[in-house]
Amino acid sequence: MKAKVIFAVTTLIAASSVNAQTLCVFDLLGAQGDSYALMKDYALAAKQWGANITLKPYPDERLAVEDFKAGQCDAVSLTGIRVHPFNSFVASIDAIGSVPNNTAAKTILTLMANPKLAPDMVYKNYEVAGVTSYGPAYIMIRDRKINSLMKATGIKFGVYDYDKAEAMMVEKMGGQPVASDLMNIGGKFNNGQIDALGMPAIGFRPLELAKGLGTKGGIFRFPVVHVTYDIIIHQNRFPDGYGQNSRNWVVGLIGRAFETTNKIEKGIDPKYWEELPANDKLGYVKLMREARISLTNQGFYDKKMMALLKKVRCALDPSSFECSLTGE
């Protein structure tokens, strides 16, 4: 009898360990941030799909990626630009200039939960278990007088060393790309090592970017990238069907994500916000398109996603110059 009890307890413990997963959560504020709060709700919902998730906060996104690759995390939540090694299709949503506004973002993010795209969510043993919004990235600059392509020549622009598009775009503008990562780019901006950077509003306070803006700086209200926030899992560590159930739930977070971004943007002092001249906006749009096409041809961006994104943009703005052109 005693042996049977021991066997039953051992079996129960083994079953529990199989169903227990660690989700490594990137959030600049660690366990105090909005992304971590979002993942707390996610972990609770995941119990419905047979998972028992424990969260582990990571203020350094690079470390979260490394631990996930090493198998120390069963799942990871991170920004879309970091997703390329795990799923190029979904990572390409974060292509430069590909998602011009929240309407386009909502359309493409909602599509990611469509079961017809389920095969595109899987690469090797990695599966995308959810895609939501992290917010538009804006150009923040130490001198707001540099507000045109002509004036951008020679400026030092902080670019992420894992994002080829940024460096290419800066070079097309005549600027000087300075390789950085999320842990040092704020410091470089604040102490004057770089003149400009691209950043979603969610990074403004944690990185104390008001120090770099000072009295002369500005934020141009022109989204160069719509940054996504994605959940990636080791597929074989979760129950069958988990990925689709998860994507169906995460798509419901889009409105909440937009509200969070809107609140953060409104919390930034209005004196910093600047508008780009209309002519320069068109110039940037054309440069971003050229960069996307070049990087797609190089295999960095996914062709299927690029075609899908163009279809979304042209459905929303059929009069756009790009809609009559080929190449994407």
Residue 327, in any domain of the structure: no
Q: What is the mean pLDDT of residues 133-139?
A: 97
Q: For the whole model, what pTM was predicted?
A: 0.91
- Both tokens of 54, joined, read 């424990």
Question: pLDDT at residue 144 above 50?
Answer: yes
CA 294, CA 263: separation in Å to the nearest integer? 35
Locate all alpha helices (DSSP H) within 19-112, ordered by sequence: 34-46, 61-69, 88-91, 102-111
CA nearest to 227, candidates 198, 204, 189: 198
pLDDT at 10: 37
| Whether 287 and 308 share a structural domain | yes
Between the CA of residue 53 and those of 23, 75, 78, what are the distances in Å? 6, 9, 16
Residue 236, in any domain of the structure: yes
Which residues have a Cβ under 8 Å from the Cβ of 248 and sit 6 or more positions away?
A: 113
Banded model confidence at residue 169, pLDDT cuts 50, 70, 90? confident
| Whether 163 and 84 share a structural domain | no
CB 246 within 8 A of CB 130: yes
pLDDT at 280: 85
Banded model confidence at residue 149, pLDDT cuts 50, 70, 90? low
- Please state the domain count of the chain: 2
| Whether 282 and 302 share a structural domain | yes
Q: What is the dihedral of CA 46, 51, 56, 61, to 10 degrees?
A: -70
| Whether 129 and 188 share a structural domain | no
Q: List strand residue ranges (DSSP E) for 64-181, in order.
A: 75-79, 122-123, 126-141, 156-160, 176-180
Which residues have a Cβ under 8 Å from the Cβ of 60 and sit 6 or more positions away?
A: 182, 183
CA 145, CA 141: separation in Å to the nearest integer? 9
The CATH code of the domain that includes 162 is 3.40.190.10
> Phi and psi for 127 in degrees, rounded to 5?
-135, 135
| Whether 148 and 282 share a structural domain | yes
- Both tokens of 110, joined, read 């909602």
Residue 310, in any domain of the structure: yes
| Whether 64 and 199 share a structural domain | no
CA 92, CA 301: separation in Å to the nearest integer? 5
| Whether 192 and 128 share a structural domain | no
Q: Half-sphere exposure (CA, 13 Å, Cβ side) for 280? A: 15
CA nearest to 81, candidates 182, 186, 223: 182
Residue 57, in any domain of the structure: yes
| Whether 129 and 68 share a structural domain | yes
Question: pLDDT at residue 8 above 80?
Answer: no
SS3 label, residue 179: strand
The CATH code of the domain that includes 65 is 3.40.190.170
| One-letter amino acid for residue 226 of the chain | H
| pLDDT tens track for 191-228 | 999 999 999 999 999 999 999 999 999 999 999 999 99
Residue 97, in any domain of the structure: yes
| Whether 7 and 55 share a structural domain | yes
pLDDT at 254: 96
Residue 107, in any domain of the structure: yes
Banded model confidence at residue 39, pLDDT cuts 50, 70, 90? very high
Banded model confidence at residue 2, pLDDT cuts 50, 70, 90? very low
Q: Half-sphere exposure (CA, 13 Å, Cβ side) for 317? A: 11
pLDDT at 328: 86
Residue 328, in any domain of the structure: no
The whole domain housing 275 covers 137-225+269-322
| Whether 237 and 297 share a structural domain | no
CA 328, CA 325: separation in Å to the nearest integer? 8
SS3 label, residue 125: coil
Average pLDDT, the chain: 92
| Whether 193 and 256 share a structural domain | no
Question: pLDDT at residue 9 above 80?
Answer: no
Residue 120, in any domain of the structure: yes
Percent of the chain with pLDDT over 70: 94
| Range with lowest mean pLDDT among 137-141, 266-270, 323-327 | 323-327
- Both tokens of 231, joined, read 């959940």
| Whether 214 and 239 share a structural domain | no
Q: 10 Å Cβ neighbour count for 18?
A: 11
Tell me whether residue 183 is exposed, middle or buried, using C-beta atoms within 10 angstroms of its C-beta: 0 to 12, 13 to 18, 19 or more.
middle
